[in-house]
Structure 1
Amino acid sequence: MTDTIAPPVAQTSLPVPSALPAPEPLVQRRLLQTQIPGPRSVELQRRREAEVSGGFGVTLPVFVEQASGAIVLDVDGNQLIDLASGIAVTSVGASAPEVVAAVAEQAARFTHTCFMVTEYDGFVDVAAALNRLTPGDHEKRTALFTTGAEAVENAIKIARTATGREAVVVLDHAYHGRTLLTMTMTAKHVPYKAGFGPYAPEVYRAPMAYPFRAPGGPERATEDALARLEEIVLTQIGADRVAAIVAEPIQGEGGFIVPSPGFLPGVAEFARRHGIVFIADEIQTGFGRTGRMFASEHEGIVPDLITTAKALAGGMPLSAVTGRAELMNAVPPGSIGGTYAGNPVACAAALAAIEIIERDDLAGRARDIEHQVLPRLQALAAQTGIIGDVRGRGAMLAMELVKPGTTEPDAAAAKAIAAHCHAEGVITLVCGTFSNVIRLLPPLVIEPELLADALDVIEQAVREHAVQSAEAGA
């Protein structure tokens, strides 16, 4: 009897819709068609409130239709100048064409396999780029994850495994994330920690060298903060129990605080002396944001481990821990990772974003932004009397609002000034331990004329509030 082979069964598939044409890039100018938020955004906001957890806050309740460069187009046709960059994420500009193309090409090939199941070269390519770009010429290894908090938490796991120690030291005003461990490491109670206790154990806090609010004055900020940190570690914790000291080279959510000169090098040297891993949290400061590829470079700091995210992948979720090979290899196989860690689409976006940052010298563009913005903010501070401090580096700049003639934080002023900017089509963010800091995080590709327009709006907002404050106090 002859075997017969059944003919192949025809495979059926759903029809694949043709790709929609890419929208034209937005003209880079501010345009208001309605009040902010407009009627369509208000309508969608009501639906959001009926469907989404109230635990999500919102800075500006507008719904986005499109974004490109430094402009956000909302569903009411308003074009807003973006001085937030999705909190320092879209440094290469929103929907950068190279990033979009890389995402589309990779998504068409495969969107996911899990790197711990089957591998792909994009993961390795991103690791190689980070090993090359991060400070120091020592041998490095990189691990990829998804969120900034995940990177920080894994850096702590690596430091604890490598040292055999448990304690972690962080700084006043720090922000490191929203997971249990990183929330514990974060300084500000509301909204990040309230009601979420008990907190993770073995996390200790030391002073930050915050020049504007240093108890002994800015000239003593470094000396006093270092002395206090050493005292806490040596007498209260025990240096032989400390796995890591974690610091943001410029503090983000805490108020864009630039440490006084010499503080971070002093912390790094103290850590080395006692066998403590020094971790630089560069999640907000990395990839050209401060005028150098990494903010640690401003004072020649070479961290043992460095965490990155945000601008790494041009808007896609990707984070990393990069550091000394002997530390990164101290953890056993299978002990770190994650289902979506180093997703292939995000890796493709990262490679495109990194190429743009290097090719177009976006760190240099950040320095240009500083030169354009800082003098205007400093003049505004001198003329209005409600700005206690202007600070920052590159395109990570801020002004701290205070009650006139004092250093008392004025959260109401920051809120009112931000609201004025929002109403005029400029997206700004409030931050700081005392919620009194306006921070500016424009895309590094923002055009000078567009940035000047945004600064005009900010200046008007500050001046009007200063007049109102003077009238109220008269």
Structure 2
Amino acid sequence: MPQPEQRRILATAIPGPKSLKLHEHRGGEVAGGLGSVLPVFVDSAGGGVLVDVDGNHLIDLASGIAVTSVGASHPHVVQELSEQAQRFTHSCFLVTEYEGFVDVAAALNRITPGDHAKKTALFSTGAEAVENAVKIARTATGRSAVVTLGHGYHGRTLLTMSMTAKNAPYKEGFGPFAPEVYRVPSPYPYRWPSGSERSGEEALAALRELVLTQVGSHNVAAIVAEPIQGEGGFVVPPPGYLKAVQEFAHEHGIVFVADEIQTGLARTGDMFACEHEDVVPDMITTAKALAGGMPLAAVTGRAELMDSVPAGGLGGTYAGNPVACAAALATLEIIERERLVERAREIEQRVIPRLEALTGPGSVVGEVRGRGAMLAVEFVNPGTTEPADDIARAVAAHCHRQGVLVLVCGTYGNVIRLLPPLVIGMDLLDEGIDVLEEAVRSVR
């Protein structure tokens, strides 16, 4: 099937009549706990465009939440997963083995930070990857406590939900939560009480105090951190903070886990976001962009850590599904062949100046931040730093009506995040930012 035409087309109002009818049907069949950013039903997608059932072509600045970095139907991914599906769709790697699983593990061992001996375990979802990283750290250290950061997000399973900071909608009503999870303040420079200059130093002091005096370092198995916080609002830590956390962890025999599920695989202008800080994690989790839209996740770590769990202790029926592995190998090849790390940097250089032009005294834009093609705009009430979630929602709604898909995030619900496919055409990207600028000006 050919790629959809790479231009914005508004054939109907958005959502259109066919989407609205399907959304009404969905309401009677699908659990209400599954939300929807925009009630539009997609018919096809690829490059930087989503085509809905009404014939609208939307500019995609979401990538399925950082999943379709190589587009939603890259021909090479489609070809490779199709060929694998014709051979076999499943056998369970824990029952009978296949090369694709091993090849994906070898590729991740090669491209993740550090030149130490590594091994990889494959899973199906990001939450599974994080949960298994904790299991491995606990086994390797003989300790139970896990330390996470404020504003962090790690998943929706019991353990990863417990590790996630934000209550609604991720945790509300779902307790009691998993024990032995401790959270420390995360350096959020824009909102740090004593100023951005001191955020890293003071956040590190709070981490040290919690680990050393409240929990006991000898009880801590792992510190788990996103190099750039995703759902928390694309919060970029101050320079040196992550490196200091890693050094502190090593000083006390604690495993440092980088949760790169949203940031990894070229998204931030490095293959992995922790490379920007010269951080080499003991374990790194990947998912989202790993398999071009197919469900696949991984934990890659120091060989001695990964081998600490006895045979049979890790796995899952669908973990490392052969079709998803074929898609992953194609995706990783595309990222390297099409130089998408450099492409992410080009996107940043093109977009950031335009977004920063929206800031200033009296603006509803409090801060613009991010790296690569992981960029965010934080909205505030003019003249203050008070979070303005209503403005963020209004801006997003304007973009949606004009055929540009953006996502709202942040602890306070006042951040619009931009996650365009790394293969998006620059003219299409420019047009999407044009619409975003219009939306911001409409609420100023």
Structure 1 equivalent of residue 400 of structure 2: 422
Deviations 1:92-118 (A, max 9, x none): 111000000011000000000000000
Asked if the contact 2:61/2:404 (under 8 Å) is kept, the reply is: yes
Instruction: Report the Cα offset of residue 191 of structure 1.
Output: 0.1
The aligned runs of 1:70-149 (5 Å cut-off) are 70-149=48-127
1:156 to 134, 145, 170: 134
Q: Matched residues in 1 for 2:329 and 2:152: separation?
A: 29
Q: Matched residues in 1 for 2:245 and 2:192: separation?
A: 17
* Partner SS for 1:102: helix
Q: Matched residues in 2 for 1:362 and 1:27: separation?
A: 21
Structure 2 equivalent of residue 446 of structure 1: 424
Amino acid at match of 2:167: H
Q: Matched residues in 2 for 1:381 and 1:223: separation?
A: 27
* Partner SS for 2:120: strand
Structure 2 equivalent of residue 367 of structure 1: 345
TM-score by length of 1: 0.93
Structure 2 equivalent of residue 249 of structure 1: 227
Q: Residues 436 and 355 from structure 1, CA distance in 2 versus in 1: closer, same or farther, beyond 3 angstroms?
A: same
Asked if the contact 1:127/1:143 (under 8 Å) is kept, the reply is: yes
Deviations 1:239-283 (A, max 9, x none): 000000000000000000000111100100000000000000000
1:412 to 390, 399, 405: 390
Q: Matched residues in 2 for 1:333 and 1:181: separation?
A: 22
Instruction: Report the Cα offset of residue 382 of structure 1.
Output: 2.6
Asked if the contact 1:64/1:74 (under 8 Å) is kept, the reply is: yes
Q: Matched residues in 1 for 2:356 and 2:383: separation?
A: 16
Instruction: Report the Cα offset of residue 383 of structure 1.
Output: 7.2
Amino acid at match of 1:463: R
* Partner SS for 1:382: coil
Gaps of 5+ in 1: 1-21, 467-474
Q: Matched residues in 1 for 2:192 and 2:211: separation?
A: 20
Amino acid at match of 2:336: E
Instruction: Report the Cα offset of residue 459 of structure 1.
Output: 0.3
Matched, 1:30 2:8: yes
2:258 to 277, 280, 286: 280
TM-score by length of 2: 0.99
Amino acid at match of 1:233: V
Asked if the contact 1:216/1:224 (under 8 Å) is kept, the reply is: no
Instruction: Report the Cα offset of residue 47 of structure 1.
Output: 0.5
Asked if the contact 2:268/2:345 (under 8 Å) is kept, the reply is: yes
1:345 to 317, 320, 323: 323
Structure 1 equivalent of residue 214 of structure 2: 236
RMSD: 0.6
Asked if the contact 2:361/2:383 (under 8 Å) is kept, the reply is: no
Instruction: Report the Cα offset of residue 384 of structure 1.
Output: 6.0
Q: Matched residues in 2 for 1:442 and 1:411: separation?
A: 22
Asked if the contact 1:384/1:463 (under 8 Å) is kept, the reply is: no
Gaps of 5+ in 2: none
Instruction: Report the Cα offset of residue 395 of structure 1.
Output: 0.0
Matched, 1:55 2:33: yes
Structure 1 equivalent of residue 299 of structure 2: 321
Q: Matched residues in 2 for 1:79 and 1:332: separation?
A: 50
Q: Matched residues in 2 for 1:311 and 1:371: separation?
A: 22
Amino acid at match of 2:73: S
Amino acid at match of 1:301: V
Runs of 4+ in 1 over 2 A off after TM superposition: none
Amino acid at match of 1:40: K
